[in-house]
Amino acid sequence: MNFAKVLVANRGEIAWRVMRTAKAMGYRTVAVYSDADREAPHVSFADEAVRIGPSPVGESYLSIDRILEAAHKSGADAIHPGYGFLSENETFAAACEKAGLVFIGPPPAAIAAMGNKAAAKRRMIDAGVPCVPGYQGADQSDANLEKEARKIGLPVMVKAAAGGGGRGMRLVERDADLSEAIRTARTEAESVFGSGELILEKAVVDARHVEIQVFADAHGNVIHLGERDCSVQRRHQKVIEEAPSPAVDADLRHRMGAAAVAAARAIGYRGAGTVEFLLGADGAFYFLEMNTRLQVEHPVTEAITGQDLVAWQLKVAAGEKLPLTQEQVAFSGHAIEVRLYAEDAYAGFLPQTGRIDVWRPAGGTGVRIDHGMKDGLAISPFYDPMIAKVIAHGATREEARSRLVRALRETVVLGPTTNRHFLIRLLEHPEFAAGKATTAFLGRHEFPAPVIDDAHWQLAANLLWRQSAARYPETLRGWRNSNPEPTPIRLAVGNSERLLHVMGSEAIDAVPFHIDGDDIVVDLDALTVRFTDKTYAPPAAAAAGSDGKLRAPMDGKIVAINIAAGDSVTRGQTLIVLEAMKIQHQLKAALDAKVESVAVKEGQQVSNRTILVTMAGDAPAP
């Protein structure tokens, strides 16, 4: 299984991260890129790069034929899939092997065994791995699933059998919500995974999400590298990951590790994998699923073990034995990772798109930032909006947490709205700081949008004035034939406007900011706000949507249109479903009205602020 040139069938930070290790081990590297990623850092970092198609994933990163064609064209003899995209696709793994390429991942049969949650769970039950009570049977009718859910007892989780990443998943706590949860989970699963098969599981309330990193080679050796706690989640997607788990002691680690190893052995596993468990408050743990790939959060395991997991993947793929035995695995300190996203955490985690104008990742002792970013690179609507993974390691959990907060505060990212301020609030929350956070953490606590204080408004105005004044000769700045007068500057954030006055003599401490046309993005105390200069613009319009025009809140694809011209609609009614960055967003009417026209069709790709529906007046009373 010798190979010399590795093609990374992925993009962004994971592509760049895999290439760094591959190069360090002496391998040549090949990047692939879509049109949207032509200028991405992973493309220029690779020894070679091959274009694989336009921006949509189905025509580029999810195209098996185009990936294999790129390997043939470049002379690559091995493929690393990264995570996401084709990384857990048994058809892709088999196609690589058929083409004579080394697939740096598990055998196709192992991927298939864990690719369907229902089949995987049945297999784990046979292997003696503890599983959550539930239903994973063949009768998939809505009526039967409702019957089985009531038999299990609410609360219950409805899950896409072929799913991952929180897609096609619904928590049902009331019987009245059961039918709708099954219907919407199935619809989403069919859209995202091409399969509407569902499973049901008893919801383990206030549990922790704890996963075990396993590794296996082709010589029969299977070990684990400890656990990661991924309990802090939004929409069933991880926000914070740490190792080790604050809730796991040595005995529990041994038992969970043994169960994870048994799971890997049961399917003839090879390479890096993660076995995910729910850990109840009583210490009982239950198998959830196995991810047959490298995880986003693998850096925290690397930090506490001192091992390079990508190097392990490459060695195992080359036919070598695992570098360590179970007895040789040692842990040191604590590590925490957060996912820095282009999203508005205070508006339902709405994904954001646009150009990153300024990117300055923090450094310092114990800090690692994995990213695929640079100044001027755009967050595309075609892919996941993750900007970077920020990781901190320390001798203790508190040292790691403090270092991570500092790293987030010192990281500068100006452009689209990000979740950086929100992440700091999570890390500083007393419950998380005490190591007590469970999967109920975000649902239990409110994190309202921060108030933009007077200092932030005034700072933005002062910076705009200073930038404007810099265009004139120093001898003319501030010159008047009378006493100095304040300069009025009108700024807006969303629907809020303020008239500020600038004297021009105010001292301005060093602060990250960027001016983009009429906008100025200012970072003050980790809160980044985009202000718009409205000094010479007409007064603010009415509240968004209340003008009778429903606009796209971001770039995306129209997947459902629920109304037609002539329909009467009520405030809060879902009119359009827009899919962006793997999430479906329900766009609702802002007022009671009558639909005049619908400007889009299902399947159409639209840009941010595109007018989708035009409405007029109040709808007539029924």
Catalytic residues: 293
Please provide residue 304's backbone torsions phi and psi, each rounded to the nearest 5 degrees.
-85, -15
- What distance in Å separates the CA atoms of residue 153 and residue 7, rounded to the nearest whole number? 48
- What count of residues does the chain have? 622
| Residue carrying the six token digits 């591959």 | 22
- What distance in Å separates the CA atoms of residue 330 and residue 429, rounded to the nearest whole number? 30
Please provide residue 212's backbone torsions phi and psi, each rounded to the nearest 5 degrees.
-110, 130
CA distances from 213 to 31, 110, 128 (A): 27, 16, 19
613 and 567 Cβ atoms separated by less than 8 Å: no
- What distance in Å separates the CA atoms of residue 151 and residue 153, rounded to the nearest whole number? 5
Work out whether strand 48-53 and strand 28-34 pair parallel, antiparallel, or are unpaired.
parallel
- Which two structure tokens, joined as six digits, stand for 218? 């082709």
Number of Cβ within a 10 Å radius of residue 404: 27
Please provide residue 81's backbone torsions phi and psi, each rounded to the nearest 5 degrees.
-85, -5
- Which two structure tokens, joined as six digits, stand for 100? 């004579």
Q: At what angle do helices 117-126 and 108-115 cross, to 10 degrees?
A: 100
DSSP 8-class letter at 131: B
- What distance in Å separates the CA atoms of residue 77 and residue 46, rounded to the nearest whole number? 15
